[in-house]
Amino acid sequence: MDQEVPPPSPNRRPVDRRSTKMQAQNPSRRSFPRTKDMDDEMALTRIGLAGLAVMGQNLALNIAEKGFPISVYNRTTSKVDETVQRAKAEGNLPLYGFHDPASFVNSIQKPRVVIMLVKAGAPVDQTIATLAAHLEQGDCIIDGGNEWYENTERREKAMAERGLLYLGMGVSGGEEGARNGPSLMPGGSFEAYKYIEDILLKVAAQVPDSGPCVTYIGKGGSGNFVKMVHNGIEYGDMQLIAEAYDVLKSVGKLTNSELHQVFSEWNKGELLSFLIEITADIFGIKDDQGDGYLVDKVLDKTGMKGTGKWTVQQAAELSVAAPTIEASLDSRFLSGLKDERVEASKIFQGDYSTGLPVDKSQLIEDVRQALYASKICSYAQGMNIIKAKSSEKGWGLNLGELARIWKGGCIIRAIFLDRIKKAYDRNPDLANLLVDPEFAQEIMDRQAAWRRVVCLAINNGVSTPGMSASLAYFDSYRRDRLPANLVQAQRDYFGAHTYQRVDMPGSFHTEWFKIARSNSQN
C-alpha cells in the first residue's frame, strides 16, 4: 500500500538524525514504503499506537487530527488497513499503518512512545513482549486500557529494568470521547508523561472554563486506579438513573414520550450531564424493527467488564463504606438472573402497588431531588476510596484536580463536578463530600423529597437499592451514635473481642454469658 511521508509538523520533537540516516541506509528498517519524491532522509512519526479495536482506532485518528503524525499497528492486519482508510476518508490525516511490529516501532522518532489499547491482562503482557523486542533504552510504553493497577506497577518495574519507561493511562469517554476528546488519567513515570504531555493536552476533551481534561495523576498505578473508581462511580450513577426511571414509569405511569421530556428538562439544570442527556435520547428512539419504543425491547440484563467489581473489592479492603456503588454492582448481578427472576415473578404474583393516586408533577420533582441527593453520596464514596488508596500508597492525589478532568470527555462528565472541584479547593482535606457546607445544605434541602421517593417505591414494591443505600449511608453518617455498640457487645460475648467504653479509656472484656446465667437464676 503506497503511503506518503508525513510532512514536518510544529508538534513534533526534533528527529534523531542518526536513526533517520541509518534507516535510509538499511531498507529493512524503513518506516514507510519508498515513493518517487522521497528524500534519503525519511521523516518519522511522532507517536505509535498498537491495538486498533474501537477505542484504539478512534484515539489514533484523534491524535492524527490534532496534527501529530502517528504510526499504527495491529496483530490482525485488516484492522490496520481499515484504520488507514478511515484516516484518508476523514481528511487525509497523517496516520500510517504497519503490518509487522519491527517496521511499526522503527517508524517512530526517538525516544519512541507507543500507546497500547488492548484487552487487560495477558494480552497486555503479550503486546509488551512484542513491542519491547524492538524498543531501545529511553523508549516508552503507555497502556491505555482498563487494567488492574497492580499489574501496571509490576510492568513499570519490569520495564525500568530494561531501561524503558511505562505509563498506565485511564481513557474515558467511549468511542465518541476517544475520537473527539476523552478524559485522560495517566499515572506512572513522570518522565514518560512529559514525553507526550503536549499531545495529551491537545487530544483530551477541552472544557472552556477549566482547560484540557488531562493531568498527571501520580506515581505507580494511580492512573489505572483512578479510572477504575471513575467506573465504579459510573456504575452508581447509571443505577440511580435507572431507579429514577423505574419509579417514574412503574409508580407514576409516565410514558416514554413523557420520560423523554422529563430527562431533557432535567438536563438543563443541576443534573446536566452526559448520562442524563443520553437517557433522554434513549426514550425518544422508536423501534425500527417493530412497534413502540426501542428501550422497551432491550433485555433487562446488564453486562459488565470488571471495574465495578474491582472498585467494590478495593472499598472493602480499604474499609471504606461504598453502599451505593455496591448496590449498583449487586443490581447487575441480579439482572443477570433473568430466568430465575421470571420464575420468581410467577411465585410472588400479585399487585404490589398501593393503588393510591399519584401527583405526577410532584413525583417528578421529588425523584429529581432524590436522584441528585443520591448522586452526591455515590461521588462521595468514590472520592473516599481514592483518598484512602492515595494515603495508603503515598500517591498524594489531588481530588479537586480529578473532578476537573472528569468535567469533559468522560462518561460521568457533569456540571455537578465543578461543584465537587470547588469543594476540594475550599478544603483539600475534606473528610467527606457530604460535610462540605454547600453539599450539606443541598442534601438537607432535598432529604424530605428523597425520603418520600424511597418510601413510595418500597410501598409500591419497586426496588430502589441505589437510592435506599444512599439514604442509609447519609442517615448513618449523620448520626452521632449508631447501634454498633450492640454489635460490638455481641462480638465480645461470643469471641472475647473486647470493647471500648464511652465514659472511660481502655479496652474491656465482660463475661456476658456467666452474668446472664447468674441473672436468670436469681
Give catalytic residues, as residue numbers.
227, 234
Q: Is 87 annotated as a binding residue?
A: no
Q: How far is the C-alpha of 167 from the C-alpha of 219, rounded, in Å?
A: 9
Q: Is 404 annotated as a binding residue?
A: no
Q: Is 231 annotated as a binding residue?
A: yes
**Beta strand pairing status for 47-50 and 211-212?**
unpaired
Q: Is 67 annotated as a binding residue?
A: no
Q: Is 93 annotated as a binding residue?
A: no
Q: Is 120 annotated as a binding residue?
A: yes
Q: Is 174 annotated as a binding residue?
A: yes
Q: How far is the C-alpha of 71 from the C-alpha of 84, rounded, in Å?
A: 10
Q: Convert 418-432 into a string of H (helix), E (strand) and C (coil).
A: HHHHHHHHHCCCCCC
- Show the cell assigned to 208: 472552556
Q: Are 239 and 172 in contact (CB under 8 A)?
A: no
Q: Is 52 annotated as a binding residue?
A: yes
Q: Is 235 annotated as a binding residue?
A: yes
Q: Is 466 annotated as a binding residue?
A: no
Q: Is 491 annotated as a binding residue?
A: yes
Q: How far is the C-alpha of 221 from the C-alpha of 226, rounded, in Å?
A: 9
* First-to-final CA distance of the chain: 97
Q: Is 344 annotated as a binding residue?
A: no
Q: Is 403 annotated as a binding residue?
A: no
Residue reference for cell 454492582 = 329
Q: How far is the C-alpha of 279 from the C-alpha of 121, rounded, in Å?
A: 32
Q: Are 97 and 2 in contact (CB under 8 A)?
A: no
Q: What are phi and psi of 291, to 5 degrees?
A: -85, 160
Taking CA atoms, 97 is separated from 8, 9, 89, 104, in Å, by 18, 19, 15, 8
> Which amino acid is residue 303, in one-letter code?
G
Q: Is 172 annotated as a binding residue?
A: yes
- Which residues belong to the annotated binding site for NADP(+)? 51-56, 74-76, 118-120, 146
Residues in binding site for substrate: 146, 172-174, 230-231, 235, 305, 332, 491, 497
Q: Which parts are annotated binding residues?
A: 51-56, 74-76, 118-120, 146, 172-174, 230-231, 235, 305, 332, 491, 497
